[in-house]
Amino acid sequence: MQQPLYITNSLTRTKELFEPVNPPYVGLYVCGPTVSGESHLGHARPYVTFDVIYRYLQFIGYKVRYVRNITDAGHFEEEGREAEDKVNEKAKLERLEPMELVQKYTNIYHDMMDALNCLRPAIEPTATGHIVEQIDMIQDIIKKGFAYEVNGSVYFDVTKYAQGNDYGKLSGRILEDMIAGSRDLDGQDEKRNAADFALWKKAPEQHIMRWNSPWGEGFPGWHIECSAMASKYLGSPFDIHGGGMDLMFPHHESEIAQTKIATGCSPVKYWMHNNMITINGRKMGKSYNNTITLREMFYGGNDVLERSYAPATVRFFILQTHYRSTLDFSNDALQAAEKGLQRLLNAYDTIAKLNASPASSVSIEKIESDCYVAINDDFNTAIVVAQLFEAARIINSAHAGTEQLSAADITRVKKLFDDFLFQIMGIKQVQQDNSADLNGIMDLVLEIRATAKSKKDFETADKIRNTLTTLGITIKDTKDGAEWSK
């Protein structure tokens, strides 16, 4: 079980042996959502992915500090006008403060993460709660000569940084190409160089979120919050920084540059990036008009997919793919995942009904070891799932009598599901209502039905079965008598 763990490091584009900076402690930072809107399907991918990573690191004994931020400030510059109008309008209609909106979307996000059974991070810092830390870091960077102030805004001097550091290493970019291909954006004339990025932005008149700073009223730049909060809570360097692939540039590239100047070292040992999701083959986005919020996904109301899907189905679907591959959501694929997960859960329930044989006809140990090999190989949950399906086949075969399992292997296969499906992959175990009352009632009902069947009174037998079905209780007739499940 204690095999070496390999992680694909985006920085080197290779699989590397995972060796924490300060074992047994592991620092894990994941870029959280911008809570200026409702959580959507795109958010499910990184947070499920890194939830499994968090769970597994703990499972193999590491003491993990998981930090996942909430971006609730800044970042409104590009949307500027639209965001302002929206906020003002809603504030009038609903008497909402801007921070109230942020709180509302944060609450929804938390609810959706709970529904997906993502463990809550150890620390969930907000950008607005760390303005001081960000200003401190910016001042430090200015003092070291890698940032300059213009008209109340502060920019990071990428050109100067690139002279002694390989800016662009993470995202595979060449500075000269970027400068040549850059567009004219707001504030471009203030920058010494097109590739420079803002550490602090002067707040325009209508901008609601604003803070005092040494450079006047403004708000923090696009990337500084993660640098400030990650180094505050995890130090520098720390172990793993995760996020979506779309954040590699410019967000993470800029984080590296800022932190390297501020702390003197490259901030992260292992950069991990999950790939994007698509819907019916297209990237999800407003311009495609195919955005699905998580609430719509779970409870219905979207126009893109034909129906809603349970959080566990979405989670399982995500884990059926390796996190570095794109994942396409479609009705067919989700329904296949839904049935597949049900098959696994049914098999798990069947374990309790197995009769032990003197010896096993198959090796559970082999499946178990294959699961560890897979999860240790850059968290390949797709292969773990395949192994669990093999285990399910064995359980069902043992139940049908075509395979045999010893008492020890029955225990072992149950542990395999407990560990991998529930604990590591975080599929929520359905709470069975196995109260003594219900068991007694069901025993009686099934006995009456068996009597009816023996008298060829199928009308009564079917009525019992059909009525129970409408109550959510499934009856299955086996050669050893009827079984029920809720």
Give residues 98-157 in contact with RNA (rule: CB under 7 A). none
Taking the complex as a whole, the smallest distance from the CB of residue 281 to RNA amounts, in Å, to 7
Query: Which residue from 118, 224, 461, 468 is in contact with RNA, where contact means CB under 7 A?
Result: 461
Q: Which 187-216 positions form the footprint of RNA (CB under 7 A)?
A: none
Q: Which is nearer to RNA, 103 or 335 (CB)?
A: 335
The residues, ordered by sequence, that sit 6+ positions from 106 with a Cβ below 8 Å of its Cβ are 35, 70, 72
Question: Cβ closer to RNA: 262 or 337?
Answer: 337
The Cα–Cα gap between 368 and 351 comes to 16
| Residue from 28, 31, 118, 312 in contact with RNA (CB under 7 A) | 31
Residue 95 or 479 having the CB closest to RNA: 479
Rounded least distance, CB 20 to RNA, Å: 23
Nearest approach, Cβ of residue 453 and RNA (Å): 5
Which of 205, 236, 257, 335 lies closest to 21, judged by CA? 236
Give the three-class secondary structure for 333. helix
Find the shortest distance in angstroms from Cβ 122 to RNA.
Answer: 19
Written as one letter, the residue type at 125 is P
| CB closer to RNA, 139 vs 171 | 171
Binding RNA by CB under 7 A: which of 2, 183, 184, 189? Answer: 183
Of 21 and 194, CB closest to RNA:
194
d(CA 250, CA 301): 34
| Sole binder of RNA in the list 12, 107, 151, 182 (CB under 7 A) | 182
Tokens of 429: 């175990």
Retrieve residue 388's tokens: 């669990």
Q: Does 174 bind RNA (CB under 7 A)?
A: yes
Distances (CA, A) of 483 to 23, 120, 445: 49, 38, 11
Q: Residues 368-387 vs RNA: string with x where CB under 7 A?
A: ------------x-xx-xx-
Which residue, 337 or 425, has its beta carbon nearer to RNA? 337
* Alpha carbon distances (Å) from 289 to 279, 324, 358: 11, 25, 60
Question: Comparing C-alpha atoms, which of 122, 156, 153 is closest to residue 256?
Answer: 156
Rounded CA separation 296/44 (Å) = 13
Using CB under 7 A as the binding rule, the residues of this chain from 216 to 275 that contact RNA are 222, 243-251, 274
The one-letter code for the residue type at 360 is S
Which ranges in 311-429 belong to alpha helices (H)?
311-319, 331-351, 364-376, 381-400, 407-416
* CA–CA dist 235, 197 (Å, integer): 24
CB nearer to RNA: give 265 or 400: 400
Residue selected from 11, 27, 29, 42 as contacting RNA according to rule CB under 7 A: 42
Q: Which helix (H) or strand (E) holds 54?
A: helix 41-59
CA distance 279 to 274: 16
Candidates 62-70, 118-126, 145-153, 473-481 — which segment interacts with RNA by CB under 7 A?
A: 473-481
- CA nearest neighbour of 116 among 29, 196, 52: 52
**Which helix (H) or strand (E) element contains residue 25?**
strand 25-30
CB of 264 to RNA, least distance (A): 25
Q: Residues 214, 285, 301, 440: which binds RNA (CB under 7 A)?
A: 285
HSE, CB side, 13 Å, CA atoms: give it for residue 216: 11
If one asks whether residue 295 binds RNA (CB under 7 A), the answer comes out as no
Identify the residue among 104, 110, 414, 453 touching RNA (CB under 7 A). Answer: 453
- Residues 323-352 within binding reach of RNA (CB under 7 A): 325-328, 330, 332-333, 335-337, 339-340, 343, 346
In the complex, minimum distance from the CB of residue 388 to RNA, in angstroms, rounded to a whole number:
8
Please select the residue that binds RNA; options are 6, 25, 34, 423, rule is CB under 7 A: 34
- Shortest reach from residue 24's CB to RNA, in Å: 28
